[in-house]
Amino acid sequence: MCPDDLDLSCTVVAAEVVIEEEIVRWTRIGWDATTSPDPADCCREMQWLPLIPAFAFNRAEYQRCLAAFAAVLDQPE
């Protein structure tokens, strides 16, 4: 997402996420190759990066990290 205007038509990096009982896995990482300007089409066409390995995270720690990130986003400027 573009940091200047939050536009999804700029470069979007995404991960394919698999959630298990104890682990969250990013099985693939890539960028959005969709050419449509419609935000609903975001990530329909991905350019996966085959040389980047999968990542695994402890699920509880992952959820704490997401909650901390969300709390920062919710703060008024």
Smallest Cα–Cα separation from 42: which of 33, 52, 50?
33
C-alpha–C-alpha distance, residues 70 and 37, integer Å: 26
Average of per-residue pLDDT across 1-7: 58
**63, pLDDT greater than 80:** yes
Average of per-residue pLDDT across 24-43: 89
Spans of all domains in the chain: 13-73
Q: How many CA within 13 A on the CB side of residue 29?
A: 9
Residue 29 confidence (pLDDT): 97
pTM for the structure as a whole: 0.75
Residue 46 confidence (pLDDT): 93
> Looking at per-residue confidence, does 1 or 29 come out higher?
29
Residue the block writes with tokens 């990066």:
49
List all residues 6 or more positions away from 63 whose beta carbon is below 8 Å from its beta carbon.
Answer: none
Q: What is the DSSP letter of 76?
A: -
Average of per-residue pLDDT across 25-38: 90
